Structure 1
Amino acid sequence: MNVIAPATDDSKARLDRLAGIAERLLERCQARGASQAEVSCSEETGLNVNVRMGEVETVEATRDRGIAVTVYFGQRKGSASTADLREESLDATVEQACAIACHTEDDEAAGLADRELMATALSDGRLSEFDGWHPWAIEADQAIDLALACETAGRDMDPRIANSDGASFGSGSSLSVYANSHGFLGRERGTNHSIGCALIAGRGDAMQRDGWYSYALAAEDLESVGAIGRRAAERAVSRLAPRQVPTGDYPVLFAAEVARSLVGHLVGAVSGGALYRKASFLVDSAGSKLFPDWFAIDELPFLARGLRSSAFDAEGVATREAPLVKEGVLQRYVLGSYSARKLGLQTTGNAGGVHNLQVAANAGDLDSMVRGMGRGLLVTELMGQGVNTVTGDYSRGAAGFWIENGAIAYPVDGITIAGNLRGMFSAIEAVGTDVDPRSHIRTGSILVGRMIVAGEGDAA
């Protein structure tokens, strides 16, 4: 990889400017009679490159910004937004938000999060940062070279690589300020960088596609372009000559990169919006045992270089380290203040989502888990949206590898795996140490002891 040079850093001055805008907007909201108000200001920059078959396809530099204003007149709410920072546009945005509030109905759950829950250590506008700011001073021609080198490494890896879906490079930064009429003002800044490659192995009807990518907040944490390309090639070639498997009930091992989707389904089912709408199979499940005794998930919002680290949520509420699942028991829901009020509960500091979930491991790496499962299915790709969060029914297309005698026997595709999430959660037998670092849901591979695998014919 080329030498990584830090970008010239004027981010604090830009954050000061956004903070000044937020404070002025709050003053204007209050001058127009709003009982409460909140303002979000953001600015994002990015460079994205796509290449394919040794040729440049796209180069895109972006610079976006946005201002969102929400006002409350009692329990009537109005919101408006703009990307125009001229004073007349900011005035018009406040006017629009106030006008909208005048035409809405009272909502008993509306309003800012409670004042005493604010992240008070940041109320003076100090920066909330957990080693997540690593700007990269890279020019477009350098980014193109990296993407081309990644694709070339993959294409040269194996003669069976016949084509390419291309390689990509991305680098971006974001600045944000959130302020409200409780006197809270918080600032955040972050960066993200990625390199990926997708390749096609085989020819004609026998072609298979797969890829790999690396994603990190700091460029030095990215895998090398050569390693990414070669891994993409290895994954594509490994899928050649797939078979189906006999329909039956088998152990299913979800590789880490797809295992996090299971945790994502849990989070969706215990999130406030689904709960107060009664659109979740886990309504009234806090305090219930959903997983085996050893299973645990913790929320860790203060991780250095964590992909979702923050000292406050989208409402200014202080985040905190807290278990989501402990000894197999669901400890709490995932709530912002609105959904919490609808449920008669208190916010959990999760307006805007969860912050760095860590799933505890009780097994070794993927290879050791494959050896231990004996016979079953290793899933490396999931397709379709066949998950019903109201009932928990789960049915998705899948591809991966068939395991016999603790070793990979052959690739499989064109199959469906099915079950019910409640039953799948209770049937988890192991979580590996092979954590995929590319997500804020940090989990290794997950072994579910028994699922329906629909392939062809009857079970062997």
Structure 2
Amino acid sequence: MDEDTRRLVAVAERLIDAAKRAGADAADAAVVRSFGRSVSVRLGKVEDTESAESEDLALRVFVGQRVSTVSANIDADVGRLAERAVAMARVSPEDAYAGLADADRLAEGDIDLDLYDPTSLSSEEMVEQALALEDAARAVSGVTNSGGASVSAGASGLVLATSSGFSGHRMRSGFSRSVSVIAGEGVKMERDYDFDSRIHYGDLEAPETIGRRAGERTVRRLDPKLPKTGSYPIVFDPRIARGLIGSLVGAINGAAIARGTSFLKDRMGEQVLPTSMTLIDDPLLPRRAGSRAFDGEGVRGERMALVEDGILKSWVLDTATARELGLSTNGRASRSSGGVSPSSSNVILSAGSQSPEDLIRETGNGIYVHELIGQGVNMVTGDYSRGATGFLIENGELTTPVSELTIAGNVRDMLLSLTAANDLDERFSIVAPTLRIEKMTVAGR
């Protein structure tokens, strides 16, 4: 534990002591530290450089079955903050499910998940990389303008202490490179982008690789057509597939189940994916975006199947939501300045046996979607309607770019008709390959 972490642990422990002196029956305190730098360039010139560092705290107190959460900058008066939190709790409505995680569920011992890389980049290095990103993208024939390139590096850490005796800390670094460019002229311009984001600096793709791919993606979108209205097989690019699986994860979040606002609220133990598919949540994977040695309540989550062989097996639960549903937490609590809520960690959909190219070839005729517009998912009913762009699939090949179409269906039916490729990308907290949906309604010309 370094000096900064020891200092933040001491702040959290003082908050707990102050809350108890102010009359709280129980409390937990989170101290969050973050720091980072970023640079952005456009058309070969530096547009912006930023550096930020913050230390904030959140105190959650319980008075009987009443709870409140307050947040402040780390320089706040600890005693006054605790008094205010307790006063707020005393006038809050009772919550029969409020309380700290059971002591026997709290994490013990340290686990090194290799989530912190201390690499420090100078502003000059970051500018050089951003310029290389943009230069590579603009060098692609057909690219006519730039939306800019950016490079960022930083880290964030959490210290958590509870009145039941838990004390833990974790730190995560992050490095990213991104670029956006434009192809075409006038009303026939198209835009696209590419990026990479990693926990460890050495894992980042080269700026030239990212930039070239962004340029090629953009040029390929030129001169789009509007497909005929009809019913088509739809293939989702992994960027879009992650969002679809995210909708599934949102639908099995315990908070949505407890409120009755999920289209899967009555489907536990039933088939929600094809029998060939399993969906895993695992917070203990080294060097992964969603990993954490303990959750926002100090509980150590373990690998679990959300969906196994197509059958829904688990909700995503924190302590309060689990109690409301008559269950036990599975260590999926996340913290924010507003309190604690359930949240998944590393969600991984099982891969299929085909390459993306083979999946497209097998599709024959359909539409490949690489970008969606709008937030047209009704989480209560599962109804799905989004604007989309992509490519026609004709005779098993990607051909004409298409845009300004709308795809529609119901997420329950979409999930049950999935076929997966084998191109899992492990950079993200939701890992999903290229996915094909058997049929969706397409509104075109």
TM-score in terms of structure 1 length: 0.93
- 2:79 matched to which residue of 1? 91
- 2:173 matched to which residue of 1? 191
Residue 138 of structure 1 pairs with residue 121 of structure 2 = yes
- Post-superposition Cα deviations, 1:133-167, rounded to whole Å, max 9, x if no partner, equal 01221111211111011101110121x11101000
State the secondary structure of the residue aligned to 2:168: strand
Cα offset for 1:286? Answer: 1.3
- Which whole-Å CA distance do the structure 1 matches of 2:357 and 2:201 have between them? 29
- Which whole-Å CA distance do the structure 2 matches of 1:136 and 1:233 have between them? 29
Question: Structure 1 regions of 5+ residues with no counterpart?
Answer: 1-10
Give every structure 1 segment of 4 or more consecutive aligned residues whose post-TM-superposition deviation is greater than 6 Å: none
The alignment of Structure 1 onto Structure 2 pairs a total of residues equal to 437
State the secondary structure of the residue aligned to 1:101: helix
- 1:230 matched to which residue of 2? 212
The equivalent position to 2:92 in structure 1, one of 93, 104, 120, is 104
Cα offset for 1:338? Answer: 1.4
- Equivalent AA in structure 2 for residue 133 of structure 1: Y
Please list, as runs of the form range in 1=range in 2, the aligned pairs for 1:223-372 lying within 5 A after superposition.
223-352=205-334, 353-372=343-362
- Equivalent AA in structure 1 for residue 436 of structure 2: L
Decide whether the 8 Å contact of 2:272 with 2:412 is kept in 1. yes
Decide whether the 8 Å contact of 2:148 with 2:181 is kept in 1. yes
Moved more, 285-294 or 190-199: 285-294
- Which whole-Å CA distance do the structure 1 matches of 2:443 and 2:98 have between them? 47
Cα offset for 1:12? Answer: 2.3
TM-score in terms of structure 2 length: 0.96
- 1:451 matched to which residue of 2? 440
- Which whole-Å CA distance do the structure 1 matches of 2:324 and 2:278 have between them? 28
Cα root mean square deviation, aligned: 1.2
Decide whether the 8 Å contact of 2:420 with 2:433 is kept in 1. yes
The equivalent position to 1:152 in structure 2, one of 106, 124, 135, is 135
Decide whether the 8 Å contact of 2:144 with 2:182 is kept in 1. yes
Moved more, 237-246 or 89-98: 89-98
Decide whether the 8 Å contact of 1:113 with 1:317 is kept in 2. yes
- Which whole-Å CA distance do the structure 2 matches of 1:262 and 1:191 have between them? 27
State the secondary structure of the residue aligned to 2:327: coil
Cα offset for 1:371? Answer: 1.3
- 2:339 matched to which residue of 1? none
- 1:30 matched to which residue of 2? 20
Decide whether the 8 Å contact of 1:129 with 1:310 is kept in 2. no
- 2:101 matched to which residue of 1? 113
Question: Structure 2 regions of 5+ residues with no counterpart?
Answer: 335-342
Residue 55 of structure 1 pairs with residue 45 of structure 2 = yes
- Equivalent AA in structure 1 for residue 256 of structure 2: A
The equivalent position to 1:441 in structure 2, one of 405, 412, 430, is 430
- Which whole-Å CA distance do the structure 2 matches of 1:284 and 1:186 have between them? 36
- Post-superposition Cα deviations, 1:376-405, rounded to whole Å, max 9, x if no partner, equal 111110110110000000000111111111
- Which whole-Å CA distance do the structure 1 matches of 2:74 and 2:386 have between them? 44
- 2:147 matched to which residue of 1? 165
- Which whole-Å CA distance do the structure 2 matches of 1:84 and 1:410 have between them? 55
Please list, as runs of the form range in 1=range in 2, the aligned pairs for 1:425-436 lying within 5 A after superposition.
425-428=415-418, 430-436=419-425
- Post-superposition Cα deviations, 1:393-428, rounded to whole Å, max 9, x if no partner, equal 000011111111111111111001110011111111
Decide whether the 8 Å contact of 1:401 with 1:412 is kept in 2. yes
State the secondary structure of the residue aligned to 2:2: helix
Residue 81 of structure 1 pairs with residue 71 of structure 2 = yes
